[in-house]
């Protein structure tokens, strides 16, 4: 069994063979930007008005002005302003030549071809050319693209963007007791919740995923299923059959298939028997069958791996909060992830009876980490919450 940090380090060190593809911005959300992007233009591309009002020369302290032209957004006035002259201007319109300030509309009284300033304008109400970005400046560095990033790229004129590819993921559920939802359960059988749960966890990461079926706890069928999965999938996620039971054949089958075990057994709860292996550029995670384990291990190991694949480092967004209730546990030899709920800015553990208790995750909105060696966290203690 290895320490959690060691497992993270092993995942950080893998160098998967991802590539780059170009996608239109409409499909860029949630994809990883492949390279630093530089702006081809100044942004904004011209000096513009931040207000509806009247453009005047910088330093013109006149009290009344003659309106010599009108300019709307998208237009351009050619009038070279003189002292005592102004151009009626709309928000977003280009400043006329010689103009340096805009008096907002609300601060003047209009009469015929003239305006009179009735309230001192202290702001210049001008957005200078290139004040956001200059041509050649970095627009974005590699990152997972959020909605605002897509907007930022569009503002620099990009219609498409290069993103890294994600692996094709094949999912195998192992266990002779596993039935598909919708079927009728026979005595001793349970529904397969892990497969669809994993597909749902993969969806926001834009990994094409395929459920490759349920496989009985028998070495022959299991080996054939894994071999076939490795021919089509760059990442294979298996659940069940990874621990030390008489019918846990996954580690043995992987060894026989020539896979190289990167780790098997981590001091983490839930998820101790988790395994990570590779063969010929393809990777395999064996997740424990209990649905909370499968969920949590995806969050803490598979996600960072997928980020590595996409060329990014996974830094989970954590927020600090104080515990509203005491957390106590007996065993301290593993780092534990516990489901919690945040109420009025405080964090409360939800009723949780162990890794088979999937419904506990339905009550939770986050996970907290209780480190190895720690048995008690007192009320008021600060914890890092990983939102779910």
213: contact with ligand AMP by CB under 6 A: no
Binding-site member from 177, 299, 363, 365 for ligand AMP (CB under 6 A): 177
Binding-site member from 95, 99, 178, 361 for ligand AMP (CB under 6 A): 178
**Minimal CA–CA distance to 342: which of 388, 307, 304?**
388
Q: Which positions from 340 through 369 interact with ligand AMP, judged by CB under 6 A?
A: 356
Binding-site member from 156, 173, 233, 335 for ligand AMP (CB under 6 A): 173
Q: What are phi and psi of 199, to 5 degrees?
A: -60, -40
Q: Which positions from 273 through 302 interact with ligand AMP, judged by CB under 6 A?
A: 288-291
**Burial of 378 from C-beta contacts in 10 A (0-12 / 13-18 / 19+):** exposed
Q: Which positions from 193 through 212 interact with ligand AMP, judged by CB under 6 A?
A: 193-195
Where on the chain is the footprint of Mg ion (CB under 5 A)? Answer: 175, 240-241
- The string of DSSP codes covering 66-123 is EEEEEE-TT--------TTEEEEE-TTPBPPTTEEEEEEGGGEEEETTEEEE-S---S
Closest CB to ligand AMP among residues 39, 290: 290
Structure-block tokens of residue 161: 């963007």
Q: What are phi and psi of 263, to 5 degrees?
A: -160, 155
Q: How far is the CB of 30 from Mg ion (least distance, A)?
A: 33
Strand positions, DSSP E, 146-272: 160-164, 169-174, 178-179, 190-191, 209-215, 235-239, 260-264, 268-269
Closest CB to ligand AMP among residues 103, 215: 215
User: Tokens 């043995």 sit at which residue?
Assistant: 252
Classify residue 276 as left (phi > 0), alpha (psi -120 to 50) or beta.
beta
What is the C-alpha separation between 196 and 192, in angstroms, rounded? 8
Contact 379, 349 (CB under 8 A): no
User: Which of Mg ion, ligand AMP, none binds 190 (CB below 5-8 Å, type-dependent)?
Assistant: ligand AMP
Closest CB to ligand AMP among residues 156, 194: 194
User: Which of ligand AMP, Mg ion, none binds 81 (CB below 5-8 Å, type-dependent)?
Assistant: none
Residue number with the shortest CB distance to ligand AMP? 289
User: Which of Mg ion, ligand AMP, none binds 366 (CB below 5-8 Å, type-dependent)?
Assistant: none
Q: How far is the CB of 384 from ligand AMP (least distance, A)?
A: 28
Closest CB to Mg ion among residues 39, 293: 293
Q: How far is the CB of 342 from ligand AMP (least distance, A)?
A: 27
Q: What are phi and psi of 170, to 5 degrees?
A: -110, 135
Task: For residue 276, give every residue at least 6 positions away whose Cβ sits within 8 Å of its Cβ, in sequence order, or none.
Answer: 7, 10, 11, 261, 262, 263, 264, 283, 284, 285, 286, 301, 305
User: Which of ligand AMP, Mg ion, none binds 58 (CB below 5-8 Å, type-dependent)?
Assistant: none
- Region from 33-41, 242-250, 255-263, 319-327 binding ligand AMP, contact rule CB under 6 A: 242-250
Binding-site member from 192, 209, 233, 274 for ligand AMP (CB under 6 A): 192
Q: How far is the CB of 135 from ligand AMP (least distance, A)?
A: 54
Closest CB to Mg ion among residues 152, 214: 214
Rounded (10°) CA dihedral 282, 286, 292, 297: -50
Number of residues that bind ligand AMP (CB under 6 A): 20
Binding-site member from 16, 53, 241, 339 for ligand AMP (CB under 6 A): 241
Q: How far is the CB of 248 from ligand AMP (least distance, A)?
A: 6
Contact 273, 243 (CB under 8 A): yes
Q: Which positions from 15 through 54 interact with ligand AMP, judged by CB under 6 A?
A: none
Structure-block tokens of residue 373: 């060696």
Closest CB to Mg ion among residues 16, 175: 175
Q: What are phi and psi of 195, to 5 degrees?
A: -60, -55
Binding-site member from 18, 239, 274, 335 for ligand AMP (CB under 6 A): 239
What is the C-alpha separation between 14 and 101, in angstroms, rounded? 56
- Region from 80-88, 95-103, 191-199, 322-330 binding ligand AMP, contact rule CB under 6 A: 191-199
Helix, strand, coil fractions of the chain, as percent rounded to 5:
20, 35, 45
The residue ranges that bind ligand AMP (CB under 6 A) are: 173, 175, 177-178, 190, 192-195, 239-243, 245, 288-291, 356
């Amino acid at each position: 069994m290895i320490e959690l940090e060691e497992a993270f380090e092993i995942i950080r060190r893998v160098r998967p063979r991802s590539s780059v593809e170009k996608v239109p911005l409409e499909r860029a959300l949630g994809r990883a930007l492949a390279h630093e992007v530089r702006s081809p233009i100044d942004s904004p591309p011209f000096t513009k008005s931040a207000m509806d009002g009247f453009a005047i020369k910088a330093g013109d302290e006149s009290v009344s002005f003659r309106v010599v032209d009108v300019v709307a957004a998208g237009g351009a006035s050619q009038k070279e302003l003189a002292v005592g002259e102004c151009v009626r201007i709309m928000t977003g319109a280009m400043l006329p030549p010689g103009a340096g300030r805009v008096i907002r509309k609300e601060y003047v009284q209009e009469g015929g071809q003239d305006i009179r300033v009735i309230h001192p304008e202290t702001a210049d109400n001008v957005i200078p050319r290139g004040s956001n970005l200059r041509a050649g400046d970095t627009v974005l560095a590699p990152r997972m693209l959020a909605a605002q990033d897509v907007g930022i790229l569009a503002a620099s004129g990009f219609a498409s963007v290069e993103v890294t590819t994600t692996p094709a993921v094949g999912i195998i559920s192992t266990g002779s007791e596993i039935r598909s939802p919708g079927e009728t359960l026979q005595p001793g059988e349970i529904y397969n919740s892990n497969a669809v749960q994993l597909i749902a966890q993969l969806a926001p990461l834009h990994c094409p995923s395929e459920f490759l079926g349920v496989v009985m706890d028998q070495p022959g069928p299991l080996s054939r299923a894994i071999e076939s999965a490795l021919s089509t999938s760059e990442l294979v996620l298996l659940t069940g059959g990874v621990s030390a039971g008489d019918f846990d054949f996954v580690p043995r089958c992987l060894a026989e298939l020539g896979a190289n075990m990167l780790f098997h057994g981590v001091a983490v709860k839930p998820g101790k028997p988790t395994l990570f292996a590779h063969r010929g550029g393809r990777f395999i995670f064996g997740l424990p069958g209990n649905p909370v384990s499968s969920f949590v291990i995806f969050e803490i190991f598979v996600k960072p791996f997928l980020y590595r694949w996409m060329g990014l480092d996974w830094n989970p967004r954590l927020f600090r909060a104080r515990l509203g209730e005491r957390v106590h546990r007996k065993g301290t030899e593993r780092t534990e992830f516990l489901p919690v709920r945040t109420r009025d800015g405080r964090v409360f553990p939800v009723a949780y009876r162990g890794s088979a208790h999937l419904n506990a995750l339905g009550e939770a909105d986050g996970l907290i980490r209780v480190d190895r060696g720690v048995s008690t966290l007192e009320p008021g203690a600060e914890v890092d919450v990983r939102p779910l």
